[in-house]
Structure 1
Amino acid sequence: MNVLDAAAVFAAGVAAGGINTVVGSGSLITFPTMVALGFAPVTANVSNNIGLVPGSVTGAYGYRDKLKGQRARLLRLGSASALGAAVGALLLLALPATAFKVIVPVLIVIALVLVVFQPRLQGYLRAREMQREHGGPMLWSGVFGAGMYGGYFGAAQGIVLIGLLGTALNEDLQRVNAAKNVLSALVNGVAAVVFIGSWALGRTDIDWLAVLLIACGSTVGGLIGAKVGQRIPPTVLRGVIVVVGLVALYKFLA
C-alpha cells in the first residue's frame, strides 16, 4: 500500500466512523475502497470489521448521555447481538457470500419501512400496550438476526437495528440511536475476536496496516459523528437514515 492508498483508507475510515455513529452503513465506504485498491474481498471485509471497532466504541461513548436508564435493556439485547455476531462471523469464514447477497436487500427494505412508519407503528403498539421496556422476545430475535448479519458483513446493520428498536421500544429516535451504537459496537467487537482467532490459527488473512488506518480514522469519525448526530432533529435524522439506506440498497443491487 503506497502513501496515496493509505490516505484513501484513512479518509474512508473517518467517513465510515461518522456515518456509523449517526446512521450506520459506514462499511459501504471502507469496504468498496479497499476492494478498489486491490484487497481480496474476504480480507477487506475482515480487516474492515476489526478496524471499525474503535470507531464504534467512540461513537457509543459520544452518545453516553442518551444511554441513561438503558443499562438493563442493553444487557438483555446485548446478549442477542453478541451471539448473533459470533454466528455471523463464523458463517463468513465457512460459507460463500451468495446466500447473504439475496437477503441483504430484503433486510434493508424492511428496515427502511420500519424507520419511515416508526411514529405510526409506535402509536399503534403503544395504544394496544404491546411495547415493552426490553422489547420482548420478538425484538431479541430481531436483534440476534441483525447481529448475525453484522458479524457476516455489517453494512446497513445500523439501519436494521434502528428500524427494529425504534418500532418495538417507546423511546425517541436519539435514544434509539444511542442504543444502536452500543449494540453495533458489541457486534463488531465480537466478530473481530472471531476473526483474530481465525487469523491466529492461520485460517484467514488480515491486513494489519489497513486495520490500523481504519481504526484511527473511524475513531476520529465516531467522535465527530456523535457530536453532529445528537443535534439533528428526529424528522431530519429519519430522512438521513432513509437516504443512506436507499444508497446502500442501490449498491447491493447494482
Structure 2
Amino acid sequence: MTWWDAAFLAAAGVVGGLTGSIAGLASIATYPALLVVGLPPVTANVTNTVAMVFTAVGSVWGSRPELKGLGPWLRRILPVAAVAGAIGAVLLLSTPAEGFEKLVPVLLGGASIAIAIPRGRAQEARVANHQRHTATILLESAAIFLICIYGGYFGAAAGVLLIALLLHAGHASLAHANASKNIITGVSNTVAAVIFSFVATVNWVAVVALGLGCLVGARMGPVVVRHAPAGPLKVLISLAGLALAVRLGIEAYS
C-alpha cells in the first residue's frame, strides 16, 4: 500500500467516521475506499469492521454528555450487544451472506422511514415518566440483539436500524438515541473485530490509516447532532438510509 493509498483511506475514514457517528452510515465511505485501494471484498469487509472500532471510540468520546444517566440501561443492554456481535461474526465466517442481503434493503428502508415519523403522544408520555413494563424491556432487548447480530454479520447501516428503534422506544431526543446507538454498535462491532483479528485476514496497514480518519470524524459527529436542528437532521438521516437501501436492493436483486 502506498502513502497515497493511506492518505486516501484516512480521508475516507474522516467522512465515514462523521456519517457513522451521526447516522450509522460509515460503510458508505469506508468499504468502497478499501475496494478502491485493491483489497478483495472479503478482506475489505473484515478490515472495515476492525477499523470501525476507531469510529466507536470517537463516537462515545463525543457523546459523553448524552450518556449521563443511562448507566443502568446500558449495563443491561451492552451484554446483549456483545453476545449478538459475536454471533454475527461467527455467522459471517461460516455462512454465505447472499440470502440475508436480500432482506437488508427492506429492513433498512423501513427503519429509514421510521426515523422521520414523529412519535405519538403515548410515546412522548413514556419518555417523560421513564416507566417501562417488563414486556417492553424484553422486546427492546430482543430487537437490539437481532440488530447487533446483523451488525456483526453484515454491518451496513445497522446504526440506522438502532436509531429508529431507540427513537420509538422512548429515548428523549435524537442526540440521546444517537449516543446510545454509538455505544451499542461500538460494543457489538468491537467483539466482532476481536474475533476477526484472530481468525480472518485483516489488512492492518489499512486499519491504521482508515481508523485514524474514523476517529477524527467520529469525534465530530455527536457535536453536530447536539447542535443541529433535530427535525431536518432526522429527515437527512432518513433520506440517506433510503438511498443506501435502494443501492443495496439493486445490488441484491440484480
Above 0.5 in TM-score? yes
Distance 2:148 2:37 in 1: 28
1:231 corresponds to: 227
Aligned pair in 2 of structure 1 residues 104, 38: CA closer, same or farther (>3 Å)? Answer: same
Q: Does 1:51 align with 2:38?
A: no
TM-superposition CA deviations, 1:144-199 (whole Å, max 9, x none): 0110011012121110000111111142111111111111111111111111121x
Residue 81 of structure 2: aligned partner:
81
Q: Does structure 1 conserve the Cα–Cα contact (< 8 Å) formed by 2:174 and 2:225?
A: no
Give the equivalent residue in structure 1 for 2:63: 63
Distance in 1 between residues matched to 2:154 and 2:194, nearest whole Å: 15
* CA distances 1:68-117 after superposition (whole Å, capped 9, x unpaired): 11111111111221111111111111111202211111210221232122
Cα separation, 1, equivalents of 2:83 and 2:125: 32
Structure 1 vs Structure 2 CA RMSD: 2.0
The alpha carbon displacement at 1:37 in A equals 2.7
Kindly state the Cα deviation for residue 118 of structure 1 after the two structures are TM-superposed: 4.2
The 5 A counterparts of 1:12-23 are 12-23=12-23
Deviation digits for residues 206-245 of structure 1 (CA, Å, limit 9, x no counterpart): 1010111111111111112222221112102211211220
What amino acid does structure 2 have at the position aligned with 1:225? G
Secondary structure of 1:28 counterpart: helix
Aligned to 2:168: 167
Instruction: Kindly report which structure 2 residues correspond to 1:82-161, keeping only aligned pairs within 5 A, or say none.
Output: 82-120=82-120, 123-125=121-123, 132=132, 135-161=136-162
CA distance in 2, matches of 1:165, 1:208: 34
1:136–1:206 Cα change, 3 Å: same
For the Cα contact (< 8 Å) 2:112–2:239, is it kept in 1?
A: no
CA separation in 1, counterparts of 2:161 and 2:230?
17
Q: 1:32-68 deviations in whole A, cap 9, x for unaligned? A: 1212332111110111111110221111121100111
Give the TM-score normalised by the residue count of structure 2. 0.91
| Separation of aligned partners in 1, 2:212 and 2:132 | 38
Amino acid corresponding to residue 151 of structure 1 in structure 2: G
Shift of 1:126: 5.2
* Secondary structure of 1:177 counterpart: helix
Inter-partner Cα distance in structure 2 for 1:99 and 1:140: 25
Distance of 1:224 and 1:170 partners within structure 2: 21
- Report if the CA contact (8 A) 2:80-2:144 is conserved: yes
TM superposition score normalised by structure 1: 0.91
Amino acid at match of 1:40: P
- Which secondary structure does the structure 2 equivalent of 1:230 belong to? helix
| Partner secondary structure for residue 119 of structure 2 | helix
Deviation (angstroms), 1:2:
2.1
Aligned length: 247
Question: Residues 146 and 101 (structure 1 numbering): CA distance in 2 closer, same or farther, change over 3 Å?
Answer: same
* Residue of structure 2 equivalent to 1:250: 246
Residue 52 of structure 2 aligns with an amino acid whose one-letter code is L
Runs of 5+ consecutive residues of structure 2 not aligned to the other structure: none
